[in-house]
Amino acid sequence: MNDIKQYQKLMRKCLSLAKKGEGKTSPNPLVGCVIFDDDFNIVSVGWHEKYGEFHAERNAILNYKGDLKGKNLIVNLEPCCHYGKTPPCTDIIIESGIKKVVVGMRDVNPIVAGKGIKQLQNSGIEVVEGVLENECKKLNEIFIKNQTEKKPFILIKSAVTLDGKIATKTNSSKWITGERARREVQRIRNLYDAILTSSNTVLSDNPSLTARIKGGKNPVRVVLDRHLKTSPSAKVYNDDGTKVFLFTSQKNNKKYPKNVCVKRVSEDKNGLDLNEIVSELWEEGIRSILVEAGGKLNGAFVKEGLADKLVLFVAPKILGDKKGKSFVEGFDIDDINNSQILDMVSVKRFEPDLMIEAGFKY
Ligand code: AOF
Ligand code: ZN
């Protein structure tokens, strides 16, 4: 194996270590780090375990109980060079005597952005950049959007039959996908700061919108209810210690549980003003939003150019119901050349279903 292949193998290890922090590092990135010798043997590992705690590089260095002089370090994100919640990683790397640092992607955080790499090089450390860069960027897509645009990353998740329907005309939709796909949805929920849905989904499905995975956290729940049609006793408002934001354009006279924060926003031609809601959530510290709603709300997010990514589960079923519901509505495009275009990211199998991941292009 040549050096590049070896670096790629070690970078895959960094990415899988980084994922151990899923659901615990927001608003910070997922980072994994490996220290290795010149024969590419791993001598120590570390990852960013939780927001506010040590960075991956510091953990990998502190986990090694010997002399690191002449060893090499690989990490999916450029080491930081700033005093934040913890001292700069570049300092501890330089002090340790490590001679080579391999980096997946440059940090997009303006206080680091290439300066970490410069500092390492200025102290005589060899830096190799861009190993599995696309995979590294995909892992931290939320962090990248937050840092570069100061906006939350928005994912639309839906499940359809092979003929593209989310429900029959009578609204029967439980369950389109199988157990494995539903487990993956729980994992995705754990990654996101908030899950957003509409009053229609609350009224028809009464979902609890929690992430039922071991050691996971429940995301903040967000309900868009223009006319305050939902009942305070709906499961989504259940006071389990998780915050719920209820957006409406009406004056509220109902008594919701104390974890529910009712916010009034304006309306535009499509309903509640989604841009206002998204900025309001950003102000509340929400850095990623998972939209789990029906076609109307999904369509509104796409039409406003707000959705970043689509995760679509496709079940090997056919409804053949021409009035069945689609997962995006409200486009009414006559010419195929005017379709909404997406970039295909990946296709995975969660037997018996497929999962398509695609990025929106506006
Ligand atoms: C992490 N974990 O493993 C690495 C990070 O809030 P602070 O002080 O912990 O600093 C966060 C910044 O540090 C983050 O925005 C990113 O630029 C850089 N690298 N952050 O949380 C890590 N390596
Ligand atoms: Zn750091």
- Beta carbons of 45 and 34 less than 8 angstroms apart: yes
Which pLDDT does position 216 carry in this prediction? 80
Report the separation in Å between the CA atom of 81 and the middle of ligand 2, taken as the mean of its atom positions.
7
pLDDT of the residue at 187: 92
**Which residue bears the tokens 């539903």?**
182
Q: Lowest-pLDDT range, 87-96, 184-193, 269-278, 331-340? A: 331-340
pLDDT of 329 reads 92
* Token code pair at residue 179: 């157990």
User: In the predicted model, is pLDDT for residue 325 greater than 90?
Assistant: no
| Protein residue with least CA distance to atom 3, ligand 1 | 55
What would the pLDDT profile of 208-266 be if each residue is shown by its tens digit?
998 877 878 889 999 999 999 999 999 999 999 999 999 999 999 999 999 999 999 99
Q: Please give the domain boundaries of the chain with CATH numbers for all domains.
A: 3-145 (3.40.140.10), 152-360 (3.40.430.10)
Say yes or no to pLDDT of 178 above 80.
Answer: yes
Question: Which residues are within 5 Å of ligand 2 (an ion), measured at CB?
Answer: 55, 80, 89
Q: How confident is the model at residue 1 (pLDDT cuts 50, 70, 90)?
A: confident
Query: What's residue 160's pLDDT?
Result: 96
* pLDDT tens digits along 109-153: 999 999 999 999 999 999 999 999 999 999 999 999 999 999 999
Confidence category of residue 296, pLDDT binned at 50, 70, 90: very high
Choice among 169-173, 216-220, 349-353 with the minimum mean pLDDT: 169-173
What the block records as the tokens of 305 is 């150019």
What pLDDT, on a 0 to 100 scale, did the predictor assign at position 210? 87
More confident residue, 217 or 201: 201
Atom of ligand 1 nearest to the CA of 147: 15
The pTM of this model reads 0.94
Ligand 1 cavity residues, CB under 6 Å: 25, 28-29, 31, 48, 55-56, 77, 80, 84-86, 89, 107, 109, 112
- The answer to whether the CB of 114 falls within 8 A of the CB of 86 is no
- 175 preceded by a cis bond (ω within 30 of 0): yes
* DSSP-derived pairing of the beta strands 220-224 and 342-350: unpaired
pLDDT at 270 (0 to 100): 81
DSSP character string of 282-327:
HHTT--EEEE---HHHHHHHHHTT---EEEEEEES-----TTPBPS
Q: Which ligand is nearest to the CA of 109?
A: 1
Contact 312, 318 (CB under 8 A): no
Q: pLDDT-based confidence at 71, cuts 50/70/90?
A: very high
Give residue 85 CA to ligand 1 midpoint distance, Å: 8
The pLDDT value recorded for residue 299 is 95
Quote the mean pLDDT of the chain: 94
Per-residue pLDDT at 159: 96
Mutate to test the pocket of ligand 1, among 80, 111, 143 (most ligand atoms within 8 A of CB): 80
Q: Which residues of 269-292 are buried (b: 16+ CB within 10 A; e: fewer)?
A: eeebbbeebbebbeebebbbbbbb
DSSP state letters, 56-114 = HHHHHHHT--S--TT-EEEEEEPPP-S-SSS--HHHHHHHHT--EEEEEE---STTTTT
Q: Which residue has the higher pLDDT, 283 or 330?
A: 283
Q: What is the structure's pLDDT at 186?
A: 92
For residue 323, is pLDDT > 90?
Answer: no
* C-beta atoms surrounding 173 within 10 Å: 17
* pLDDT tier at 49, thresholds 50, 70, 90: very high
| pLDDT at residue number 333 | 86
129 is catalytic: no
Catalytic residue among 49, 57, 184, 280: 57
Residue 175, pLDDT above cutoff 90: no
Q: Are 26 and 9 in contact (CB under 8 A)?
A: no
Measure 46 CA to ligand 1 centroid, in angstroms. 14
Whole-number percent of the chain with pLDDT over 90: 87
At residue 267, the pLDDT reads 94
Q: Is a pLDDT exceeding 80 seen at residue 88?
A: yes
